[in-house]
Chain A
Amino acid sequence: MKKLKYALFTGCTAKQSTPEQYMSTYAVAEKLGIELVELVEASCCGASHLQDYDDFLSLVLNARNIAYAEKHGLTMVTICNTCQLNTAMTKHRLDNEHGLKEKVNAKLKEIGLEYKGTSNIIHFLYAIIDDIGLDKIKEMVVTPLSQFNIAPFYGCHNIRPSELQNESHKKAENPYNPTSLDDLIVACGGVSVDYKEKNKCCGFHVELQAPRTASILTGNAIAGAMDGNADWMVTPCPLCHLKLDTQTHHASVAIGREVKLPVLHMQQMLGLALGCSHEQLGLKHHLTKVDFL
Chain B
Amino acid sequence: MDLGLIIYLMSLLTMGGIYAVLALGLNVQWGFTGLFNAGIAGFLAVGAYTQAILTTPIDRDHLGAYDWPIPLAMVVAMVFSAIVAFAIAKICIRLRSDYLAIATIGIAEILRLVFKNELWATNGPRGVSQIPKAFEGVRFADIDWLTGDLSGWAALRYEAVSRGWMDVPLPTPEERFLTAGLFLGMVVAIVLVLYIALEAARKSPWGRTMSAIRDNETAASAAGKDIEAFRLESFVLGAAMMGLGGAILAQYLKQIDPQVADPLTATFLVWVMLIAGGSANNKGAILGAVLMYAVWSGTEILSQKLLTFLSSDTVGLLTLAEAGEWSIRFAYLRVFLIGLILQFILQRRPQGLLPEKRPKPRPKPSPRSAPEAEKTGSTQA
A and B held together in a complex:
no
Give me the interface of A with B, judged by CB distance under 8 Å.
none
